[in-house]
Amino acid sequence: MGETRDIPENARIHHSAIRRMEANESYRPGNLIVGGGGRGMRRGPKDLGIGQWEVVKEEGDLVGMTYIRKGPSPAKQMDKVKFEKIDKEEGNKVGRGTRLKKAAANGR
């Protein structure tokens, strides 16, 4: 099987994907539940539920209704915590790109 696709923070998700997660507890796409590319997770952890979603288009329309994530994804929240930890360890503030390179170099 291939890699999971990255899903942008502001992606519009068709209501059928949200309904499927609600109806089938074994359908847990990591890229939707965790965010981003799912951070290598094909299945999202149960403790995250299905995430929080709000209707942004054509509410009640079975063809056109779409959702968007409420607030930052768990992946984005984890990144923030991870980068704050790196900043604290290094005692300075650096740009996000520099933090990403340092995190990758240190296996974080």
What is the per-residue pLDDT across 81-100, written as a single tens digit (0 to 9) for each? 665 555 566 665 555 555 55
Q: Cα–Cα distance between 54 and 61 in angstroms, integer?
A: 14
Residue 58 predicted with pLDDT over 80: yes
Query: Model-level pTM?
Result: 0.66
Residue with tokens 């959702």: 67
Q: What is the pLDDT of residues 69-84, one digit of tens each?
A: 988 888 777 766 665 5
